[in-house]
Structure 1
Amino acid sequence: MFAIRISAFSVIIVTTLFSLIGSVNFGGQSSLYADSVGRPNFVIIFTDDQGYGDLGCFGSTTIKTPHIDKMASEGRRFTSFMVASPVCTPSRAALMTGCYPKRVGMHHHVLFPQSTIGLNPDEVTIADHLRGLGYATACYGKWHLGHHPETLPRQNGFDEYFGIPYSNDMNHPDNKGKPRIPSDQLWTDQSTAINQWNAPLILNETIVELPADQRTITRRYTDHAVDFIKTHQDEPFFVYLAHSMPHIPLYVPADAYDPNPENAYTCVIEHIDAEVGRVMTTIKELNLSDNTYVIFTSDNGPWLQFKNHGGSAGPLREGKGTTFEGGQRVPCVMWGPGRIPAGSQCNELMGTIDMLPTIAALTNSTLSPDRKIDGMDLSALVTGETTESPRREFIHYTSHGDLEGIRQGKWKLLVKRRKKANNHASGDKKVSPETLTTIMLFDLAADVGEQRNLAKEHPEIVEKLRKRMIELDSEIEAGARPTWKMPSKPNADKKAPN
């Protein structure tokens, strides 16, 4: 084990929310508020590529998740909880900033070890806001919002960071020399498999392990989270626990391992559940339950192509990488005894994009009106004070940031544009734009699995929704803010002399 300075890192996320008390005006930059005593704590536990159907409390009959199920029985399930993108980087940008990824320039798919951009530190994250209120803040796991020192968690509101800076299947420094896909053989031989991916494990901005031993990474993230909670139990804290898995490749420690590769995904989810249990036990043993919000959710749907290395979307259509419900509707459980009604369920529209303004409201603080965001204050929905969500619409963007649909109430419109190459097999190259477009309209209240296309039956609804989604997207594009970009090296564009 050794330490290296590095310019490219990633983080994994676990999400849990807690409610805050106090009053402050927050205007873009953190401003310490003196009276932080009594404010609720927040823990966000964020998994990677976990499907809607991968928890017992969301219908799984094969994966046992007793600790998360207990969270649900003591808290609230959100069954229509959305992420703003069906892939990692843009989804995480939305969680942190309360913005559609396009507004903060983080919508063009995922970042890689060779990427030269990241989340602009000028953006206000959940951690920025809470640290401005006097919170201790920590990020453990997958960041994936920029791996250069200027864009890592400590430049975005967190006091400390420990994790793999991007996806756990990416290699330092240039993403070369890795297996194309994980395999049953690599699961069976975990000791050899840990050297197949050269993912860096970093502490703050320094590599402390290369390659990271991913067999124990879920537990080590949790170790840090538990220690942080114990250390800061007498002051308000925010822990962002972003697990690297069940994104492939899959690993677990020896005491959670089943050598049968058919059970690989199950092993990983059940191990994550056990580690969630450790966090919950710590909160309860420290008598912090009445002053803590915990939120458990995922960054996008399951990576279905990997079969026993991937999860399940349950009753939803498709998975990761798509704008169907299986790609963007994720399981969500929120826990906060005395604040969130126990054993309750909310079927109203809500999403990670709403977490920043909701947390601000729970802390009785305000966000700067000068910085436009897309999230909404849904704190009354979290606490059960209202049964109807003020969020009535939600835009769907593809994994590469292209506008593809909108949900409004029970109606969901998708306008999918096919690649021209797929339509020229007959040799006819004069294909109209309409021929290259598939329009789908679903009634999610009656058809959550998106099996019945009602576009031809309701052309007026199609037209109304299509017009609205273009209108919303145009406003976001007009108000988009720049990402951070790595400065060009002097003379980088000049050719070397002959």
Structure 2
Amino acid sequence: MAINTVFRRITSVYRLVALCTILFTVHVCHAQKKSGSPNIIYIMADDLGYADLGCYGQKTLRTPHLDQMAKEGARFTQFYAGSTVCAPSRCALMTGKHMGHAYVRGNKEMPLRPDDMTLAKLMKNKGYVTGMYGKWGLGLEDNTGSPEKQGWDEVLGYLHQRVAHRYNVDYLWQVNAGKLSKYPMDTNTNTHTVIIHKAKDFIRQQQHKPFFLYLPVTIPHAEMRAPTPESLAPFLKPDGSSVFDEKPFVRPPNGSYRSQPMPNAAFAAMMKQMDEDVGSILALLKELGIADNTYVFFTSDNGPHQEGGRVVEFFNSNGDLKGYKRDLYEGGIRVPMIAWAPGRIRAGTEVHEPLANWDVLPTLAELTQQKAPAGIDGLSFAAVLEGRSLKNKHDYLYWEFFERGFDQALRAGDWKIVKRKSNNSKTELYNLKDDLAESNDLATQFPDKVKALEKLMESARVDSQEFPVN
């Protein structure tokens, strides 16, 4: 047989295989759409401030990919974290319960229980492949909160939130085939870059199946460390010094974070890397042809920290908001939220309804045509993603916090009350419509409003043995 004839036959076989692959991909994506099984990607930054993104008012740092994501999708202006610190905020997200009913209400080691319904379990019930890459914070390898016991098929990241303070460690944790094991790391390699790489591998591997990817990245949480030399380079002068004014951070005795001579430049590098990583994930979805069958969400777990040398005011990370991480003022709990889904969410959508991360579970349930679990506090906001008005709205949003004794906050409409142990639990009253900065306490002027909201606050919670009120 002539060589040319053999070559033509081989070429024909390759073309047939390629055609079959294309048809299979189209069939799978069509089947996912028809069965109500869009892919879901939920990206959660760590300690990102409300005004750290350009589309939320950031003036110094550039976040072009996240800004474009907001232009092409929906930007939420009144979205709240579940708590003002890590673990309880993640518990609210995973279980759909606010801090008055959640099992994990603080940052002490407290694992989820076997019977807790999590987002991962919900998605597995629908036949989704579930993957988590980043910081878990809701259980360790030897207890009931270990991620493979809470619905995750594949995992790479940190289990304990304190270990996630470091970006150069000798191992991470992984889940494969239902088994949890250590994943060796080169201590010269920043863990964030590995986590993002593995998350994108998960998307490639699962592109023909409905998948749920939870990406709780560890940046820009302290310690202040540039993920790569390339991310830091734009913020250095030719002599290697920072382009910003810097106050070097020196690690105190027994401190959690390493010394950092240029914390502002390091923070800028972390923001640049995170923005580029989100952009690369959206580009990958388009490259694989699955962008129109995927919802991508981007948010933060709580407000910005002031640790490891970071100074929130330097980049005005909170804009007009008062307070930081560990506060129940707006700066500690109001966070960015962007939702993106080409062909599903109208470009340029603005959502002004007060919502919180405990609403995510029922929202994903509705998007995937499932019934939300009973007994949760969250309400679905799927309607606003489709350009419709919400039929069910919150009567109130509630938070409590234990690290400083016992602090509480409740928002009902435009009114918000705050109680702080450091202020002898005196009730403060603010009208967020007129006073977003919470600078004018109206408690003495509206005693009836205070009384009504205090009564609502009392009904919003049940006591917790694990987190008793002091």
Report the equivalent of 1:396.
399
Separation in 1 of the partners of 2:306 and 2:387? Answer: 34
Partner residue of 1:202 out of 145, 164, 173: 173
Partner residue of 1:289 out of 291, 297, 304: 291
Report the equivalent of 2:412.
408
* Residue 309 to residue 230, structure 1, CA distance change in 2 (3 Å): farther
Counterpart of 1:228 in 2: which secondary structure? helix
Separation in 2 of the partners of 1:298 and 1:265? Answer: 16
Counterpart of 2:224 in 1: which secondary structure? coil
Report the equivalent of 2:422.
418
Aligned length: 402
Report the equivalent of 2:436.
448
Report the equivalent of 2:446.
458
* Residue 320 to residue 211, structure 1, CA distance change in 2 (3 Å): farther
Report the equivalent of 1:73.
71
Letter in 2 for 1:385: R
Counterpart of 1:386 in 2: which secondary structure? coil
Separation in 1 of the partners of 2:33 and 2:75? Answer: 32
Letter in 1 for 2:459: E
1:64 equivalent to 2:62? Answer yes
Separation in 1 of the partners of 2:354 and 2:334? Answer: 10
Partner residue of 2:371 out of 366, 369, 377: 366
Counterpart of 1:441 in 2: which secondary structure? strand
Aligned-pair CA distance for 1:398 = 1.7
* Residue 100 to residue 211, structure 1, CA distance change in 2 (3 Å): farther
Separation in 2 of the partners of 1:239 and 1:159? Answer: 10
Aligned-pair CA distance for 1:256 = 1.2
Residue correspondence of structure 1 range 304-383 to structure 2 within 5 A: 304-306=306-308, 308=310, 312-369=317-374, 372-383=375-386
1:157 equivalent to 2:151? Answer yes
Counterpart of 1:68 in 2: which secondary structure? helix
Separation in 2 of the partners of 1:124 and 1:275? Answer: 30
8 Å Cα contact 1:360-1:366 kept in structure 2: yes
Counterpart of 1:316 in 2: which secondary structure? coil
Aligned-pair CA distance for 1:266 = 1.1
Letter in 1 for 2:50: Y
* Residue 356 to residue 199, structure 1, CA distance change in 2 (3 Å): farther
* Residue 437 to residue 167, structure 1, CA distance change in 2 (3 Å): closer
8 Å Cα contact 1:137-1:157 kept in structure 2: yes
Report the equivalent of 2:111.
118
8 Å Cα contact 1:73-1:342 kept in structure 2: yes
Aligned-pair CA distance for 1:482 = 8.2
Report the equivalent of 1:257.
232
Separation in 2 of the partners of 1:194 and 1:242? Answer: 14
* Residue 373 to residue 388, structure 1, CA distance change in 2 (3 Å): closer
Detail structure 1 runs of 4+ shifted over 4 Å in the superposition: 34-38, 168-171, 210-213, 480-483
8 Å Cα contact 1:322-1:399 kept in structure 2: no
8 Å Cα contact 1:168-1:199 kept in structure 2: no
For structure 2, which runs of at least 5 residues remain unmatched after alignment? 1-28, 234-239, 243-261
Counterpart of 1:365 in 2: which secondary structure? coil
Separation in 1 of the partners of 2:320 and 2:219? Answer: 22
Percent identity of equivalent pairs: 34
Counterpart of 1:151 in 2: which secondary structure? coil
Moved more, 300-309 or 325-334: 300-309
Report the equivalent of 2:49.
51
1:83 equivalent to 2:85? Answer no
1:134 equivalent to 2:134? Answer no
* Residue 250 to residue 471, structure 1, CA distance change in 2 (3 Å): same
Report the equivalent of 1:302.
304
Report the equivalent of 2:161.
167
Letter in 2 for 1:243: V
Deviations 1:185-211 (A, max 9, x none): xxxxxxxx966xx57412222222368
Separation in 2 of the partners of 1:318 and 1:200? Answer: 35
Separation in 2 of the partners of 1:236 and 1:277? Answer: 21
* Residue 157 to residue 359, structure 1, CA distance change in 2 (3 Å): same
Counterpart of 1:391 in 2: which secondary structure? coil
8 Å Cα contact 2:100-2:399 kept in structure 1: no
Counterpart of 1:473 in 2: which secondary structure? coil
- RMSD, matched Cα: 2.7
Separation in 2 of the partners of 1:223 and 1:202? Answer: 15
Partner residue of 1:268 out of 253, 267, 270: 270
Separation in 1 of the partners of 2:157 and 2:89? Answer: 18
* Residue 168 to residue 293, structure 1, CA distance change in 2 (3 Å): same
Structure in which a larger fraction of residues adopt helix: 2
Aligned-pair CA distance for 1:239 = 0.2
Aligned-pair CA distance for 1:153 = 1.6
8 Å Cα contact 2:99-2:398 kept in structure 1: no
TM-score, normalised to structure 1, is 0.75
Report the equivalent of 2:221.
247
Separation in 2 of the partners of 1:415 and 1:402? Answer: 8
Counterpart of 2:101 in 1: which secondary structure? helix
8 Å Cα contact 1:131-1:137 kept in structure 2: yes
1:437 equivalent to 2:442? Answer no
Aligned-pair CA distance for 1:226 = 1.1
8 Å Cα contact 1:219-1:275 kept in structure 2: no
Separation in 1 of the partners of 2:191 and 2:84? Answer: 24
Deviations 1:431-474 (A, max 9, x none): xxxxx333211110111111111111111100000011101214
Report the equivalent of 1:471.
459
Separation in 2 of the partners of 1:313 and 1:272? Answer: 18
Letter in 1 for 2:415: W
TM-score, normalised to structure 2, is 0.80
Separation in 1 of the partners of 2:149 and 2:84? Answer: 26
Moved more, 224-233 or 250-259: 250-259
Aligned-pair CA distance for 1:229 = 1.0
Report the equivalent of 2:255.
none
Counterpart of 2:393 in 1: which secondary structure? coil
Report the equivalent of 2:193.
219
Aligned-pair CA distance for 1:399 = 4.6
Structure with max Cα Rg: 2
* Residue 121 to residue 269, structure 1, CA distance change in 2 (3 Å): farther
Aligned-pair CA distance for 1:417 = 2.5
